[in-house]
Structure 1
Amino acid sequence: MYDNGPVALDLFCGSGAVSLGLKQAGFNVVGAVDYEVGACRTYRANHPAVRLIEKDIKKVDPNEFSDLIPEGLDLLVICAPCQPFSSQNRAKSSADKRAGLLDEAKKFITRYEPRIVFLENVPGLASTSIFGEFTEWLHREFGYQVGEPMRINAADSGVPQRRMRMILVATKGVVLRDALNIMLHPKVTVGDVIGDLPVPPIGRSEDLEDPLHFARRHSALNLERLKHIPLNGGGRSSLPARLRLACHKNAKSSAFSDTYGRMSLADVAPTLTTGCTDITRGRFAHPVQNRAITLREAARIQSFPDDYIFHGNANQIAMQIGNAVPPRMMFNIALSMMAALQPLSNSSVAIDAES
């Protein structure tokens, strides 16, 4: 049954980071669902053998994958959009239509009863009634053994980024024989992953050697601000009064305090967002150069390999990168799920995603 790896479906797959991590761990990802056009184009470029259903999940019939899963589904991954539950979302509302997307996974669970259901989201989801109702439904209706939600930091999994996430694993007929493979891994810093990159040209052009490694064009005022930000971790508090935004001049103001801040070569990066190449959106300035990080640098900080293909304009690619689950983190978690699914006599798996 495992000649081609345990069978997995990837819901809300985005540009394919989760599928990448699963494949690196040995899973056979046969199907995926998403509706965002640019992300789906990127997904197809990197996972051409996967059946990607590009439409609103509310309109997807789980039977569209039935011919690919003749012997049962081993793993269902649910990474529903997290914005309604994010701590950065100041307009949280239960009326947000995205908040109900988690329930769309129920029809896939009802149809296939996967041996493992894996959920990844922001930590805030675990405290909602939506989450409680979903986990109670898993146990009541199908007898899943539902684990406690775990709060994890991608930096503990070899990702050069401080990214807090919540994961949940529910199993049926299998037992996770070891804890999820998210114990402390050697720290990887920003310098470790971007230190070898050359100084990028300014602006995107057709003749770039690396289509993702180019610097944004900053205004003269923002360039002047960057010159005053100390290298390797400096922040906007170092700006002279004449260069501060009016909303930042109050010394007690801490709103979005990372804006105009620099990353540090010796530390992990802050959480990358969809504005990860914009210095006005967070601590996204290069550690020692007067510019925002490039798309290539952002992709490496998210642990994407350089041969991963991204389609779209610069803003669309930044959104795909910022929204992604770090593939390296997913790989490490997937190893334990793989071990649980494999026969005891054949439970060893590689632990190097680069191999």
Structure 2
Amino acid sequence: MVKKKNTFKVIDIFSGAGGLSLGLTWAGLDVICAVDNNEFAVKTYQKNFEHPILCEDMKNISKGKLFSKVNFKDEEVDVLVGGPPCQGFSIRRRGSDTDPRNELILEYVRLVQEIRPKLFLVENVPGILGKRGENFLNEILKLEHEGYLIKTKILDASDYGVPQNRKRVFIVGEKLLEGKSFFEFPKEDEKVGKKMTVREALEDLPSPLESHKDHPTVPNHKREKISEINQLRISYVPQGGGREYIPEHLQLECHKKASVEKAGHRYSYGRLAWDEPAGTITARFDSFTRGKFAHPEENRTITLREGARLQSFPDDFEFIGSKVEVAKQIGNAVPPLLAKVLGECLTRALIKRNRKIN
């Protein structure tokens, strides 16, 4: 169970299972409340944190509802954080540029306007900076008319100790204090010298049971059943390779017709490499048919716990739900180690603000 540490108060909306909350807590911030509308993510969050979480549609959330939940009256929230659903902005998503999930960013902006935190942080995919995200990014930028300075940066989780290449956009708004801002993104010298590899992240984990039962000591570490033909297919794939190594007579018809480079097919039936960081852990990493999610040596998909480790979750962080639900929680999370780095940046800014006031 994660313990609270200091007096800088944070509310985490669109919290999911709690990757962002966990990292911010590691940085010493006091997450006082969270909100998400996925019942399984909420159960996971409740399992791992002491503070309350609301299972609500964000459209039904208001400042009054949040503050009553944590018995707040007029106290000021220091930081509002959240990662609104990002799939609508993904450059890999096919179809129309219009996606109803994108509108949840407007709910985030509304809550910033209601709560007026000293700082706010938004996490999303780099696609939000492109055509699909232009209108919604502009809504965030409008907060500059309400006294916030907006800063944006793309960070790669592998630069901060996470064993995974994962680029995400972080947007931070700071309420100007006497015309000044104090928040700064992590500097170059805060990056790790050597990136963590899959081997360093996974090698000490016992192999999941051949019986496909839950592991007796490691939560969420279960070998999933796969068909004999998929076991045969993946057996041809070397470390770091993909479906191009599978003999033609075993390939799916759709793969025979598609270029290896074609979006949506390139990394399917892929295998992780021991001595490199993993690729991005997605919400569907529970099957190597959807990406480079096969174990480096064994002919199987990585377990949910192995995926959680590649996201930098500790082993005592237990996930609740079906295989699909847990994979979604893990894949959608902000890696806690990256969140910790951002939490330290937020803390430094808040301390400087206090010194300015005092």
**Residue 223 of structure 1 aligns with which residue?**
231
Structure 1: how far apart are the matches of 2:266 and 2:350?
45
Of the candidates 159, 171, 182, which is equivalent to residue 176 of structure 1?
Answer: 182
Q: What secondary structure sits across from 1:53 in the alignment?
A: strand
For residue 253 of structure 1, report the CA deviation from its aligned partner. Answer: 4.0
Amino acid at match of 1:121: N
Q: What secondary structure sits across from 1:31 in the alignment?
A: strand
For residue 310 of structure 1, report the CA deviation from its aligned partner. Answer: 0.7
Structure 1: how far apart are the matches of 2:317 and 2:117?
29
**Residue 101 of structure 1 aligns with which residue?**
104
* Distance of aligned partners of 1:206 and 1:269 in 2 relative to their CA distance in 1, 3 Å threshold: closer
1:64-116 CA-partner distances (Å, limit 9, x unpaired) = 2333364311111121000100122112432x221110111233222221111
Q: What secondary structure sits across from 1:277 in the alignment?
A: coil
Structure 2: how far apart are the matches of 1:199 and 1:330?
29
Structure 2: stretches of 5+ with no match in the other structure: none
Are residues 1:62 and 2:63 paired?
A: yes
Structure 1: how far apart are the matches of 2:220 and 2:36?
24
1:11-53 CA-partner distances (Å, limit 9, x unpaired) = 10011111101100011111111110100000111112x2211
**Residue 134 of structure 2 aligns with which residue?**
129
For residue 177 of structure 1, report the CA deviation from its aligned partner. Answer: 5.7
**Residue 353 of structure 1 aligns with which residue?**
none
Of the candidates 297, 302, 318, which is equivalent to residue 309 of structure 1?
Answer: 318
RMSD of aligned alpha carbons = 2.2
For residue 211 of structure 1, report the CA deviation from its aligned partner. Answer: 3.2
Structure-2-length-normalised TM-score: 0.89
**Residue 244 of structure 1 aligns with which residue?**
251
1:152-206 CA-partner distances (Å, limit 9, x unpaired) = 2111111111111111111112633644357421311110010111221135435
Q: Is the 8 A contact 1:229 1:261 kept in 2?
A: yes
**Residue 85 of structure 1 aligns with which residue?**
89
Structure 1: stretches of 5+ with no match in the other structure: 347-355
Q: What secondary structure sits across from 2:270 in the alignment?
A: coil
Structure 2: how far apart are the matches of 1:196 and 1:17?
22
Greater Cα offset, 275-284 or 128-137: 128-137
Q: How does 1:160-309 map to 2 (within 5 A)?
A: 160-172=163-175, 173=177, 175-176=181-182, 178-180=184-186, 183-185=190-192, 186-202=194-210, 204-205=212-213, 208-230=216-238, 232-250=239-257, 252-255=259-262, 256-309=265-318
Q: Is the 8 A contact 1:181 1:332 kept in 2?
A: no
Structure-1-length-normalised TM-score: 0.90
Q: Is the 8 A contact 2:128 2:137 kept in 1?
A: no
Q: Is the 8 A contact 1:35 1:57 kept in 2?
A: yes
For residue 226 of structure 1, report the CA deviation from its aligned partner. Answer: 1.7
Structure 2: how far apart are the matches of 1:195 and 1:206?
19
Aligned length: 341
1:181-236 CA-partner distances (Å, limit 9, x unpaired) = 57421311110010111221135435633231121111110111122112x21222
Greater Cα offset, 69-78 or 2-11: 2-11
Q: What secondary structure sits across from 2:76 in the alignment?
A: coil
Greater Cα offset, 201-210 or 99-108: 201-210
